[in-house]
Amino acid sequence: MKKGKNNAYLTVCITLCLAVIMSLFLVLLNGARQNGARLEVECVTDIGLQSILAEYHRELMKQYNLFAIDASYGTALCSKTNTEAHLRKYLKKNLDYGDVFLSGYLYGDFLALGLEETELTKISILSDYDGGIFRRCAIDAIKADVGLELLGELQDWMETMEVNGLEDGDNEAEKQRLDAEIAEYDGMEIEIEEDEWETLEVKNPTDTLEAQKRLGILKLVIEDEGTVSSNAIHTDNLIMNRMEKGQINQGNIKTEVQTGVVERFLFQEYLLRYMGHYGTEYEEDALRYQIEYLIAGKENDVDNLKSIVNRLCMIREAANALYLWSNEVKRAEIAAIAGAVCTLITLPQLTALLEAAILLAWAYAESIYDVKSLLAGGRIPLVKDDKSWHYSLSSALGGNLKETSRDGEGVSYADYLRIFMMMTNVDTLTARAMNMVEADIRNTPGNSGFRLDGCYESLEARIRIGSAHGHQYEITRMAGYY
């Protein structure tokens, strides 16, 4: 049997249908390519920015729990061009399929995307807004761990100090004035009988205590003065000095920085947690008494500690004098000694001067005990009562100031530092804190040129990517740590 042979042909209708279907397929394919390209551009951009953020400065995070990109990357040049170069590297790496297994044999690059331009259009630097960004990051690093109960106590302490004027007067200057007036009577000649004169010899009962003062304040309040740190820094090349001279990098992201009482309190608690002070020192830090530096601003530990101790003594002396003036029993003890001295030298007009001098001397002796106890880790009430008073008048005038206590109730040394920080201008406190951060980080290997004004907290990037198929895609993304 002979096989039949059929002729194949396309009708006009089928041809037109195939042309329409093919056109639709190609349109859908091109649409899929463009949508896929847009998706890849977004993914590559996000991955690139996250990779940049993953390059946070390790030592800054380790020591201070702060996340920021160091734009110098350990070099001497601190510039956003470094960060742009790193971002380009990550973008190109994620756009390149060259390292995909058998990519040149099994399949090609369907999207064919290539990086054309990368620019950081906006950056936020830790030093922006006079350190406001640094302060905000510090607050974010600690706010979940700190309650606000202590803030109420801190406000009460500050109110007590203000109401009682504990920092308003200068009892030491008043004591010197009284001593000078008393000394004027020493060697004075008085007529005891007609044509019979006697030279007065006035011995100030506070002289022994005054001799103790001349030993130096640190020798009085620290048992072994040799244990005091002698560390020092040079602030000429630190950020506070550069800020004053206008020699720092500036960001351009608008940010609202909060400076309320709660924010100040949280910032102070951050500083107390991550910076050392007397009794809680960190050996690797540039200064051992960093909190004292934030308050006093001296370039070495000895001067900073002296400044804080002198301020503590002044406050404690004022508070103790306030208590003595209000205590009739102790005022009677003072009057008895002053009266006995004046009776002995037959000079009753000296009684009032001696009483005032003895009272201030007693208050000073008690303040030495207070400060020694605070530095030893004890607590002292802001305003004392009969129960918390320590020295007898005889012990105080005898200059026996060796005693101390590590117990008690009231305000601790760290609490006084909290009070002093709250009284310090917030911008000054922030700038000095940034000085400490820079100095500490520079002490670590590979970070000798570290600058906080080169640390990016957040950034905005504009990226343009082109396709071999004739399309361009531009995207702007913001990324940051907080």
**Residue 227 pLDDT exceeds 60:** yes
- Kindly report, residue by residue over 236-278, the tens digit of the pLDDT: 999 999 999 999 999 999 988 888 999 999 999 999 999 999 9
Identify the pLDDT of residue 275: 97
Residue 176, pLDDT > 70, answer yes
Residues 24 and 164 in one domain: no
Contacts of 25 (CB under 8 A, 6+ apart): none
Question: CB 430: neighbour CB atoms within 10 A?
Answer: 25
Nearest-angstrom CA–CA distance, 451 and 443: 12
0.85 surpassed by pTM: yes
pLDDT value for 101: 52
Tokens at 307, concatenated: 């400044």
Q: Is residue 3 part of a domain?
A: no
| Model confidence at 173: pLDDT above 70 | yes
pLDDT at 57: 96
Residue 232 forms part of a structural domain: yes
Report how far apart the first and last C-alpha atoms of the chain are (Å, whole number). Answer: 87
My answer on whether 193 and 92 are in the same domain is: no
For the segment 166-192, the average pLDDT, to the nearest whole number, is: 81
The count of structural domains within the chain is 2
Q: What is the pLDDT of residue 119?
A: 95
DSSP class per residue in 380-408: E-SS--TTT----HHHHHTT------S--
Looking at the domain assignment, is residue 138 inside a domain?
no
Domain with 471 in it:
12-129+457-480
Q: Which of 176-180, 380-384, 470-474 has the lowest mean pLDDT?
A: 470-474
Looking at residue 186, its pLDDT comes to 74
- Look at residue 168 and tell me if it is in a domain: yes
| Confidence label for 99 from pLDDT (cuts 50, 70 and 90) | low
124 and 150, same domain (yes or no): no
Helix %, strand %, coil % of the chain (to 5): 55, 10, 35
Question: Has residue 184 got a pLDDT over 80?
Answer: yes
* 191: enclosing H helix or E strand: strand 189-193
Name the token pair of 208.
């022994």
> Is 183 part of any domain?
yes
pLDDT of residue 198: 65
The tokens describing 60, both together, are 């800054």
Q: Quick: pLDDT tens for 388-439.
A: 999 999 999 988 888 777 777 899 999 999 999 999 999 999 999 999 999 9
SS3 463: strand
Domain presence at residue 5: no
Q: Are 169 and 246 in a shared domain?
A: yes
* Among candidate residues 387, 384, 377, the one with its CA nearest the CA of residue 415: 377
* Residue 464 pLDDT exceeds 80: yes
255 in the same domain as 372: yes
Are residue 297 and residue 176 in the same domain, yes or no? yes
Residues 218 and 73 in one domain: no
pLDDT tens digit sequence for 274-324: 999 999 999 889 999 999 999 999 999 999 999 999 999 999 999 999 999
Residues 212 and 303 in one domain: yes
State whether 288 and 371 are in the same domain. yes
- Answer yes or no: do 112 and 185 share one domain: no
Q: Higher-confidence residue: 338 or 30?
A: 338
Range from 34-38, 93-97, 100-104, 289-293 carrying the lowest mean pLDDT? 100-104
Residues 461, 430, single domain; the answer is no
My answer on whether 356 and 306 are in the same domain is yes
Residue 222 pLDDT: 92
CA 258 – CA 138 distance, rounded (Å): 12
pLDDT band for 147, please (50, 70, 90 cuts): confident
Residue 7 placed within a domain:
no
Q: Is residue 282 part of a domain?
A: yes
Comparing CA positions, the residue from 87, 53, 142 lying closest to residue 455 is 53
